[in-house]
Amino acid sequence: MNKIFLLGRVSQPPEQRTTGSGVSVTTFTVACNRRFNRDETDFIRVVTWRALADNCAKYLVKGQQVSVIGELHIRNYDDANGQRRSITEVVADEVEFLQRPQGTSSGTSYSQNNAAQAVPAPPANEEDLFASEMGGVLMDEEELPF
């Protein structure tokens, strides 16, 4: 199975292009801190296609925290000098827009099938925390069987 999960910040503004057949493609780089050594950072290239590419180009900004789910792809090509080059990148299936730099708002998730999902606001108090799961059933603590 080839599945990659990234959590980091966009290190450069996204770049959008269109292929010869009219398909949108957007690339950006995600800066991810290492798990055990926070002083080291990896810069990972992410590629998005079609509607997801359009959304990333439109809404992602430099410094924004993102979550990316996709596949690792390794491409080889010959450069202008005839030298063999290799590129490692993540082709994203889902990109979740998380915390934006100060002064902007966020909270939307986009996936390859162009489904936008609003992130619900946190509950106002502890009683509201499980209200949706309880289906309106109110129980007194004395009625609990344990």
What's the pLDDT at 18? 96
- The label of the residue with tokens 């986009």 reads 110
Residue 31 has pLDDT above 60, yes or no: yes
Q: Tokens standing for 111?
A: 């996936």
pLDDT level of residue 137 (50, 70, 90 thresholds): low
DSSP β-ladder status, 84-97 and 41-49: parallel
Residue 117 has pLDDT above 50, yes or no: no
The DSSP call for residue 121 is: P
CA proximity to 71, closest of 48, 55, 54: 48
CA distance 123 to 110: 23
What's the pLDDT at 10? 97
- The label of the residue with tokens 């162009």 reads 114
Residue 126 has pLDDT above 80, yes or no: no
128: containing domain: 4-143
CA distance 1 to 67: 19
Q: How many domains does the chain have?
A: 1
Amino acid at 46: V
**CATH code of the domain in which 69 resides:** 2.40.50.140
pTM of the predicted model, to two decimals? 0.69
